[in-house]
Amino acid sequence: MRIDEDMREVFEEMEEEEKLEGGRCRHVQGEAKPHSISCHMDTGDWDILCKGCAEKRTRPPYYTIPLERFFVSNFETVDWIAHLSEKRWFVPKKFIGLFRNLRGLGGRV
């Protein structure tokens, strides 16, 4: 059945999206430029995504912020952190883990 096959492909693609190695999409895991940070609002886990993957996570349960907005100025970064820390789903330890992950990308961030 053609429709079943198509659906299977869609589901496989969705599953693949969820399985992020080390909190990075497979494209960023490769050579793609990191574009956004994205939090799972149900767990507080953060991922680093390329532009294409970030565009698929613009709504809950994801909270996605383009890096160029997060780091646009010193004040904006301070404001983002203060803002995020007020969210119910914010887990400080996981947020710090995100920065370790970003550091691991070196000059690509």
Q: Which one of 10-18, 50-58, 72-80, 87-95 is the stretch in contact with Zn ion (CB under 5 A)?
A: 50-58
25 binding Zn ion? (CB under 5 A):
yes
48 binding Zn ion? (CB under 5 A):
no
Site track 52-91 with Zn ion (rule: CB under 5 A), x = hit: -x--------------------------------------
50 binding Zn ion? (CB under 5 A):
yes
**Three-state secondary structure of the chain:** CHHHHHHHHHHHHHHHHHCCECCECHHHHCCCCCCEEEEECCCCCEEEECHHHHCCCCCCCEEEEEHHHHCCCHHHHHHHHHHHHCCCCCCHHHHHHHHHHHHHCHHHC
94 binding Zn ion? (CB under 5 A):
no
Residue ranges in contact with Zn ion by CB under 5 A: 25, 27, 50, 53
